[in-house]
Amino acid sequence: MNRALPLLRTAALRLWLPVLLAIVWWYASAGSQNIYFPPLSTILETFAADWLGSRAATDLVPSLGKFVLGFLISAAGGIALGTWLGLSPAAREAAEPVVQFLRSLPPPVLLPIGLLLFGITGTMNVAIIVMGAIWPTVLNTADGIRSLDGQVADMSRSYRLTFAQRLFSVALPNAAPQVFAGLRTTLQLSIILIVVSEMVAAASGVGYYVLNSQQTFAVAQTWAGTLVLGLIGYLSTLVFLAVEKRVLNWQHGMRRAAEGA
């Protein structure tokens, strides 16, 4: 009971504004005849019919699958590539101009090339995510690996830690706060890219559904699809933050200790 109270308070603090906005939207749009602004009730009916119904399997699950797969490949590949660049000055020198060039490309620009290479396939959607979203993680990981304190490096050497220990117990945890900052941007880019790539080149998926409904003047569907995308973004960020909090628990504790001192 005592522990539930603060939890309720936090929930209330976070919920009042979204709830208020929903209520305002509900009443402002009630009975609306404007075809571009259908009543919220209509949007929600469409939402329930499509996204809690048949389209969940045909469009939502494939979109989510491609998004998650693209993000995971970007995350793992970005950390691996970034670690390599962080450890090897020679690799860094050689790769720097290429990496800077690739990350400077606005990711949607990759779409035509992705289409040429992979056609209108799921592989193309995933490849577009990886090509566009991997770079923040690569660069942040490389920076984090390089930023190892000199005394920590001396400690690792004098206690004769193995390469694996230096990598997994020292360098990567040391880089973790920066890696997560990179992963967060990678996550946001992954969502943008799955939607954009589905809009341009797919025959199903949430992005396809939104653009297609707009082009066929199925306005309630356009709104419902947009809500789905917002929810995907919001929920994936929540999951990401929960993982980050777990992995970087030591850093939060350290910060709290420093503030308390």
Partner 1 sequence: MQQSIIETRTGDAPAGEAVVELVDLRKSYGTGPSAVQILDGVNFEVRRGEFVCVVGPSGSGKTTLLKCIAGLLKPSGGRTDFEGQEVTEPPAKLAVVFQDYSRSLLPWMTVRANIALPLRNKFPKQERQARIDEALESVGLAGKGHLYPWQMSGGMQQRAAIARGLAYQPDVLLMDEPFAAVDAQTRIDLEDLVLEVRDRYDTTVLFVTHDIDEAVYLADRVIVLSGAPTTVSHNITVDLPHPRHQVDTKREPRFAELRAFVFEQIQAAKSNTVRNRADA
Residues lying near partner 1 in the complex (CB under 8 A) are found at 149, 151-152, 154-155, 157-162, 165, 169-170, 173-174, 176, 250-251, 253-254, 257-258
Q: Are 124 and 111 in contact, with CB atoms under 8 Å apart?
A: no
At closest approach, how far in Å is the CB of 146 from partner 1?
16
Q: Which is nearer to partner 1, 174 or 214 (CB)?
A: 174
Q: Which is nearer to partner 1, 69 or 181 (CB)?
A: 181
Q: Is 147 helix (H, G, I), strand (E, B) or coil?
A: coil
Tokens of 139: 């660069």
Residue 207 to residue 198: CA distance in whole angstroms? 5
Cβ neighbour number for residue 225 with a 10 Å cutoff: 27
Q: Which is nearer to partner 1, 109 or 152 (CB)?
A: 152
Q: Are 197 and 207 in contact, with CB atoms under 8 Å apart?
A: yes
Q: Are 70 and 125 in contact, with CB atoms under 8 Å apart?
A: yes
At closest approach, how far in Å is the CB of 180 from partner 1?
13
At closest approach, how far in Å is the CB of 242 from partner 1?
18
The DSSP code sequence of 129-154 is: HHHHHHHHHHHHHHHHHHT--HHHHH
Q: Which is nearer to partner 1, 123 or 162 (CB)?
A: 162
At closest approach, how far in Å is the CB of 249 from partner 1?
9
